[in-house]
Amino acid sequence: MDSVHRGYWYSVSLLAAAACWGTAAVISKRAVEEIEPLTLLPIELMVSVAVLSLGLAVTRERVSWSLETRRLTALGVLNPGVSYALSLAGLVRITASMSVLLWAIEPLLILAFAFWILRDRISGQMAFCAATAAIGVMLVVFQPGTAATVAGILLTLGGVTACGLYTVLSSKYLAEASSLSVVWLQQVAALAFSLILLAGSFAVSEPRSLVGVSSTAWVSAAAAGVLYYGVAFWFYVIGLRELGAGRAGLFINLVPVFGLAVSYLALDERLVGRQWIGALLIVGALIAMSMFAARRRTRCPQGRPS
């Protein structure tokens, strides 16, 4: 029973990560209205690194520099570095709804990468859950008549692919490394990468001045940085280590559900009937996935199921 209970707690951790990502996505809308994306990215990462550094100081946790941690640090360049840089560049060229729809295929990419790289077996039950959740996401986020450029779609798909690859490779190298120190190292690597991108953008064009940015935009940027890159990544890495890449990826399907819920409360955006059906499909698929995982853990308490 202890193994089953731990499995549920790790699922709660992944659920919290999805809630943080969905909430922060709505908060970022306010900040990006006044701050350019390539400028906003390092600002949010700076806030995240500062908060995580405080967490390391409070817990008195030491950061080791082993081969494992070096590999995990490098993955921070992949995500959130490359992944969110490509996503923001794509978002300039396509609508937000199209961007969310493209991100909804990430769990399927994670399952594919896990099968290819980790040789994880995809059971029929897991495949059915993934397909059901993907259909639910499409019902939630798809809006007929959306127009998008080919460049925007390719850039966003590049970001989604980078994020899916990050999840699988992180699962491979995590082992016993501390979750908090791993997230801190990856955020530092992503921050360095984002600053290089920002410096490169200066050579191409003159960036929008930050003079006159409202206090609301600054607070939104700071809050999004804490939730999106700090707290969410920490929760995600905790669940990812124990449950594996395939099942962790399924929880990403809940990000648009949380995002729409927060949009309803904060922006008075309402769901239509089709979106409610999609939300129920997503939640139902995740509940079924958790039950299958718990049963597998009961039968194989010493091993981590695929």
Return the number of other C-beta atoms located less than 10 Å from residue 258's C-beta. 20
Q: Return the SS3 of 120.
A: coil
Flag whether 34 is in a domain: yes
Flag whether 305 is in a domain: no
Return the top range by mean pLDDT from 94-108, 195-209, 212-226, 239-253: 212-226
pLDDT tens, residue by residue, 153-183: 788 889 989 988 888 888 777 665 567 788 8
pLDDT tens, residue by residue, 115-127: 777 776 767 777 7
Domain count of the fold of the chain: 1
**How sure is the predictor about 306, in pLDDT bands with cuts at 50, 70 and 90?**
very low
Q: How many CA atoms, within 13 angstroms, populate the side-chain half-sphere of residue 69?
A: 17
Flag whether 51 is in a domain: yes
Stated pTM of the model = 0.73
Flag whether 304 is in a domain: no
Residue 127 structural domain: 2-204+211-299
* Mean pLDDT over each residue of the chain, to the nearest integer: 77
Flag whether 12 is in a domain: yes
Query: How far is it, in rounded angstroms, from Cα 67 to Cα 39?
Result: 32
Flag whether 267 is in a domain: yes
Flag whether 125 is in a domain: yes
Flag whether 276 is in a domain: yes
